[in-house]
Chain A
Amino acid sequence: MSRLVITREDVLALARGARLAAPPGAIVTERALETAREAGVEIIIEGGAPPPGGGSPGGGGSPLPAPAAEPAPPTAPEQETPQPATESTCRLIVTAFGRNRPRIMAELTGAIEERHGDIQEISQRVQEGWFHLVMLVDVPAGSSVVQEFRRALECLSSEDDYRVMVQHERVFERMHRI
């Protein structure tokens, strides 16, 4: 399994601002990436995404598929049991909790819609001024899409307001089902 490995030395050998084109499948080490950032060297994997970001199989930095731009319903009291995620989608579980105030649901669903998420189910409780909500959201499959989605939602969190967390559905399936 001999593959080309790009190390810090390879990056240091280049001039500032240079581009390093590596063949497909090449491995770029963490130190090489760090040094490339410092030295302003751009590393490009031919036929793939620039590292890091789309590194995992199936991710690949491909452009986002066209959004299934259906505005999500704010609540879904009579919703049917959600269908399993398809191969082209990935199901995430969005959890939020904090002190209740107006517009929280709008902020969350707005961010989900902006990132092409498709809400499958929502459950929300408010008690003594505090709320928690759980949403099942399908997003287009792919590592970079999921990571982008997570960043967009988690940055709505703030210490004195509410917290948002995004996890893959498989974490819960594994933990609670045999």
Chain B
Amino acid sequence: MPIFESEILETIRMVEMETLDIRAVTLGVSLRGCAHPDVGRAAENVRKRIVERGGRLVEVVDAIEADYGIPVADRRVSVTPIAIVAESSETEDYTPFAQAMDAAAVELGVDFIGGFSALVEQGMSTGDRRLFASLPAAISATERVCSSLNVATTRVGINMTAVAWVGEIMKDLAAKTADRGGVGCAKLVVFCNAPSGNPFMAGSFHGIAEGDCIVNCGVSGPGVVRRAVELLGADASLDAVAECVKRIAFKITRMGELIGREAASRLGVEFGVVDLSLAPTPTPGDSVAAILELMGVGRAGGHGTTAALAMLTDAVKKGGAMASSHVGGLSGAFIPVSEDAGMIAAARDGTISIDKLEAMTSVCSVGMDMIAVPGDTPAATLAAIVADECAIGMMNNKTTACRLIPVPGMVAGDLVEFGGLLGSAPVMPVHPSDPGVFVQRGGRMPAPIHSLRN
């Protein structure tokens, strides 16, 4: 069937003027089999395995980009959670594993590598405890390594002992990277119901149920959706808006599937999932907040924002699910504060608060992402924010996550610059009440009942 000129021009406009791109092609590499009692040998096994499996990643993705004429923003690698791989090694300090991952990332030419991770929703093994203890030093000693911790699921509840520890880790990590605005915390994501096929950093890791090697593809396109909603005008009903978003999501996901499958085929590995997430960037127009504002809620964060975001997330999922046989990861809409020009503006003028963000995360695809808080925020308060977010994920059977940055030396109202895709974030105030006793109780919050729903 011939392709119509109008269709060609629509695609060209999306790519050229509305910043549509393939956001990430992420190669998942299993590190099972790399364990060794000697930490030096184990770390070298890790480095070698990543380099061997990912050696052609950048070359192949560059070639696909050039063959198809579609921009691919990032090439990345994720690995099996290091807490599992490192547990056999006789060492308390897992920094050598992070350094091995960092060296492999430099060798491959990828900007981030994910998987300095632990899955501790039910309890912590020796390897998990060592990873937690090593985390601030390991992440601050490396440039490209990202970490994620799964501390809760709907099926088993919330590991509050781990959550309390996470608060301490965030404080320590911020202090260790104080000269760069505490940017170390931007490389740590704390999850409830973490998906393993997520190609987006910093929360990407290679799931323990995955095969040896897999390609996952992340597609974005808030700019395209924003423009489509703008063209509909203020008179269109919400049915029309939802339908329009769904159609756009379908088209974008199809492109992600094409590129992802091509990358998998050229690399000779399995194709995993397409993750269609409206992931904003600081580029003007590439903003999820702008979509919500065009839907008519006034400033993002105002009343109606949660409802608008719910519809947007759902329409994106519906369009994406139709377009690919394997949609996964985080698929939906991201609302990172520092990476979205509209969110930054709303946070600066006080329309959006940490409480409203928390409410929005009950319907967005991830959670409280890239939120800068005052440097003197106590560890217990950070842990309590994480606990709140996990509770939303656990009760609603969805992925939620926290990426909080207690910026050393800064107070509410200041602006911290991270640079690049991480953008800049206004420091948002947190509630002064002390949740110390609640957090320090520790233990595991039981899993919820899912009958008797109301």
Q: What is the chain B residue whose CB lies nearest that of A176?
A: B7
Interface 1/0s, chain B 53-74, versus A by CB < 8 A? Answer: 1011011101110111110000
Q: Is the CB of A52 within 8 A of B3?
A: no
Asked whether any CB of chain A lies closer than 8 Å to the CB of B16, the reply is yes
Q: How many A-B residue pairs have CB under 8 A?
A: 119
Chain A residues closer than 8 Å to B68, beta-carbon distance: 167-168, 170-171
Smallest Cβ distance from A117 to chain B, in angstroms? 14
Confirm or deny: B452 has a beta carbon within 8 angstroms of a beta carbon on chain A.
no
Best-buried of A51, A81, A171 by chain B (most CB within 10 Å): A171
- Interface stretch (choices B105-113, B296-304, B425-433): B105-113
Contact residues in A for B60 (Cβ distance below 8 Å): 55-56
Which residues of B are found within 8 Å of A95, using beta-carbon distances?
8-9, 12
B66 interface neighbour in A2, A132, A150, A169, Cβ under 8 Å: A150
Interface digits, A142-170 against B, CB 8 Å rule (1 contact, 0 not)?
A: 01001100100000000000010111111
- Do A29 and B107 have beta carbons less than 8 Å apart? yes
Of A3-11, A13-21, A68-76, A102-110, the stretch lying at the interface with chain B is A3-11
A31→B11 contact, CB < 8 A: no
* B255 CB within 8 Å of chain A: yes
Closest to B252 in A: A175
**A56 contacts B109, C-beta separation under 8 Å:** no
Contact of B108 among A29, A147, A165, A173 (CB under 8 A): A29
Counting CB contacts under 8 A, is A57 at the interface?
Answer: yes
Q: A85 within 8 Å of B by Cβ?
A: no
Contact B11 A172, beta carbon cutoff 8 Å:
yes
Is there a chain B Cβ closer than 8 Å to A30's Cβ?
Answer: yes
Give the residue name and chain of the B residue nearest to A167 (CB).
B69
Cβ of B258 under 8 Å from chain A: yes
Mask: chain B, 237-267; 1 = CB below 8 Å from A; 0 = not: 0000000000000010011011000000010
B1 interfacial by beta-carbon distance below 8 Å: yes
A111 located at the interface, meaning its Cβ lies under 8 Å from any Cβ of chain B in the complex: no
Dominant secondary structure at the B interface: helix
State the CA gap A8–B109 with chains docked (Å).
11
A40 to B112, CA, bound (A): 28
A123 touches B52 (CB 8 A): no
A1-52 residues at the B interface, CB under 8 angstroms: 1-3, 5, 7-8, 27-32, 34, 51-52
Interface size on B, residues (CB 8 A): 42
> Is B5 close to A, CB under 8 A?
yes
Q: Which of B9, B15, B69, B108 contacts A30 (CB 8 A)?
A: B108
Does B2 make an interface contact (CB < 8 A)? yes
Contact A146 B70 (CB under 8 A): no
Q: Is the CB of B51 within 8 A of A143?
A: no
Partner of A172 from B8, B66, B106 at Cβ < 8 Å: B8
Please state if A56 and B67 are interface contacts (CB–CB under 8 Å): yes
Residues of chain B with a CB closer than 8 A to A146's CB: 66-67
Q: What is the minimal beta-carbon distance from A57 to any residue of chain B, in angstroms?
A: 6
Q: Are the CB atoms of B63 and A59 closer together than 8 Å?
A: yes
Using CB atoms, name the residue of chain A closest to B47: A7
List B contacts of A2 (CB < 8 A).
52
Q: Which of B59, B109, B255 is the most central at the interface, judged by chain A CB atoms within 10 Å of its CB?
A: B59
Q: Which residue of A lies closest to B69 (CB)?
A: A167
Tell me the minimal C-beta distance from B273 to chain A in angstroms. Answer: 17
Least CB distance from B76 to A in Å reads 13
Q: How far is it, in angstroms, between the C-alpha of A1 and the C-alpha of B33 when the chains are bound?
A: 14
Given known A52-B62, A165-B69, A168-B67, contact A27–B7 (CB-CB < 8 A)? no
In the docked arrangement, what's the CA distance between A146 and B66, Å? 8
* Chain B residues in 8 Å Cβ range of A93: 3, 8
A residues touching B (Cβ–Cβ < 8 Å)? 1-3, 5, 7-8, 27-32, 34, 51-52, 55-57, 59, 81-82, 92-93, 95, 123, 132, 134, 143, 146-147, 150, 163, 165-177
Complex A-B: 30 CB contacts under 8 Å = A3-B55, A5-B52, A5-B55, A8-B107, A28-B59, A29-B109, A30-B58, A31-B108, A52-B63, A93-B3, A95-B8, A134-B5, A143-B66, A147-B66, A150-B66, A165-B69, A167-B11, A167-B12, A167-B69, A168-B68, A171-B11, A171-B68, A171-B70, A172-B7, A172-B8, A173-B3, A174-B254, A174-B257, A176-B4, A176-B11
- Sorted nearest first, the 4 A-B pairs with minimum C-beta distance are A30-B109, A27-B55, A167-B69, A168-B68
